[in-house]
Amino acid sequence: MDKDMDMHYGSDYKYIPTTSLESGMGIEVLPDLYCHTIQIVNIILVDNPEKNDFVLVDAGMPNSADKIISVIEERFGDNSRPRAIILTHGHFDHVGAVIDLVQHWDIPVYAHELELPYLTGKKSYPEPDPNVEGGMVAKMSPLFPNEPIDLGNHVEMLPSDGTIPHMSDFRWIHTPGHTPGHVSLFRENDRALIAGDAFVTVKQDSLYKVVTQEQEINGPPRYLTTDWKAAKESVIKLEALKPTVAVTGHGIPMSGEFLSNSLEKLVQEFDDIAIPDYGKYVDKNIH
């Protein structure tokens, strides 16, 4: 039996026709940190100049494998392949092309232990909440794929000591709330942060702002966040690291004083800025 036959997407897997004006744009955030927008979500390439290799963080939207491969080959040359794929979490817009990419490159995928049930076909995430306070994207959320994908034995647990395979300068930090096993990646020496969806730099539930990518710091996407107490604690944890640059799952990378002031404001006013006034996963008494 073909070893790839043990992998499959959920039965609700499909292309989602939403795109931002930034789609197709790449930003070299640092010489070894590259962010590229696929429709409404970012993929991140982190390279190791000393070893001439690189990793891919997150795997885009459904049906985006060809696009991701071409972005990588444009940056690193024909037939280039990452050493591994690191997932911040397993929502459909972060694992959309992961099986196609694993089949194409034959490389391992790493995720937090608590995300593994959602990546091995065992457990679906809670349903998105279309009635949460928010804009049109929240209303569209029932259309989003929600069934677990199954990576079989191609996904491995991130090492429990905080190290990340093939990313020797970074460590992973458990930042739950948006999902149980959500992680952010942090590099101490220049305080670069890959935040995933622990916070984002666009108001992700507003279709207008998703399309225009109007930059403003916000909590995790509302319609898929199920534990606001943990989400708040995760943002507090990340702000305490005083990152100098942050690449998030949605929105344009943010840096310098704009980042530190925005993150500080998000921590101080998290209940007002991030937590919706109503929704099935909302309990306002979390202070």
pLDDT tens-digit series, residues 205-235 = 777 677 777 788 999 999 999 999 999 999 9
Residue 9 lies in a domain: no
Residue 1 lies in a domain: no
**Residue 198, token pair as written in the block:** 């622990």
The CA distance from 230 to 152, in Å, is 29
Q: For residue 280, tell me if it sits in a domain.
A: no
Strand order in the sheet with 53-57: 26-30, 33-38, 41-48, 53-57, 85-86, 109-111, 155-157
What's residue 95's pLDDT? 98
User: Any idea what the CATH number is for the domain that residue 253 is in?
Assistant: 3.60.15.10
The two three-digit tokens of residue 243, written as one number:
């990152």
Asked whether residue 151 is domain-assigned, the answer is yes
Show the domain range for 244. Answer: 14-273
pLDDT in tens, 166-178: 999 999 999 999 9
**Which pLDDT score, from 0 to 100, does residue 125 have?**
95
What is the side-by-side strand order in the sheet with 183-187? 170-174, 183-187, 192-196, 245-248, 254-255
Domain tally, the chain? 1
Q: In the prediction, which pLDDT does 287 show?
A: 47
Asked if the structure places residue 7 within a domain, the reply is no
Distance CA 287, CA 283 (A): 10
Per-residue pLDDT, 1 = 32
In a domain, 54, yes or no: yes
**AA letter at 207:** L
Q: Tell me, what's the pLDDT at 277?
A: 93
CA angle 108, 82, 259 (to 5 degrees): 105
Q: Is residue 255 part of a domain?
A: yes
What pLDDT does residue 207 have? 72
Q: Is residue 254 part of a domain?
A: yes
Q: What is the pTM of this model?
A: 0.95
Which parts of the chain sit beneath pLDDT 50? Answer: 1-2, 287
